[in-house]
Amino acid sequence: MTAVLVAIAAACATMLGGSLALKLRDKLHIILGFSAGAVVAVAFFDLLPEALELGGKVHQLSTVVSFAALGFLLYLTLDRIILLHNHAHENGDEHPVESRGHIRAGSLSIHSFLDGVGIGLAFQVSAAVGAVVAAAVLAHDFSDGINTVNVVVRHGGERSKALRWLLVDALAPVLGVIVTLFFTLSEDSLGLLLAMFAGFFLYIGASDLIPESHHQHPKFLTTLMTLIGAAVLYLAIHFAG
């Protein structure tokens, strides 16, 4: 039940991020910088250690780390496939630019669904792990809301279409958590899945949030906020643990 409440909070964070994106587009790099540090910190300081502890009871540590790399590469592959699909649409004849925005918004919604699955699985490990993962997901989903609105509007979509995609993105983590209520996993399987989610979060932070927060904005301030985000999550994980 706690996981569902967290998923609802994630949906609210997504809606808030998207709403602010429509009003304060030029002042969000500071929040995105903080979010980048928070997401990367959760991967390094919480998900990977938990994955090694749980998965290491049955699997070799190199196997657990390989699953983290697999998660990173799977997310990278998904992004590259989307980019190639976008390029194909750009070369087509029917509303190519707007179609790209819809494709990207759809991919963000899929990512948010996976965030919900991550929350549900983390709470299967423990309340403390669930709380820390939830904090990272909330930060990530806030930026997802921003990005969902931005990609639709930036590629010629109307405000009403951006708001519809924002609603889809907001509901996705709730559905992801609900799915995890219908099955449980052994500790060693959870360890491998947490390692994969660590890879997901590392890719999100390194390839999406950090570049987005630094794009056409002062580097010092956004870098400082990224470091602060990592430090805050490190302290939260330390005290929660």
Would the pLDDT of 180 be above 90? no
Mean pLDDT calculated for residue range 181-200: 84
Q: Place 69 in a pLDDT band, splitting at 50, 70 and 90.
A: very high
Q: How many domains does the chain have?
A: 1
- DSSP codes joined into one string, 133-179: HHHHHHHHHHHHHHHHHHHHHHTT--HHHHHHHHHHHHHHHHHHHHH
Q: Distance between CA atoms of 48 and 234, rounded to whole angstroms?
A: 13
Range of the domain at 54: 2-240
| Residue recorded with tokens 């496939």 | 81
Q: Place 73 in a pLDDT band, splitting at 50, 70 and 90.
A: very high
Percent of the chain with pLDDT over 70: 73
Of 25-34, 89-98, 173-182, 220-229, least confident by mean pLDDT is 89-98
Would the pLDDT of 165 be above 60? yes
Tens of pLDDT along 2-17? Answer: 777 877 887 887 788 7
What letter would DSSP give residue 91? T
- DSSP codes joined into one string, 75-124: HHHHHHHHHHHHHHHHTSSSSHHHHHHHHHHHHHHHHHHHHHHHHHHHHH
Contact 47, 194 (CB under 8 A): yes
Is this model's pTM higher than 0.75 or not? no
Number of C-beta neighbours around residue 27 at 10 A = 10
Mean of pLDDT over the chain: 77
Number of C-beta neighbours around residue 114 at 10 A = 19
Tens of pLDDT along 123-140? Answer: 887 787 777 777 777 766
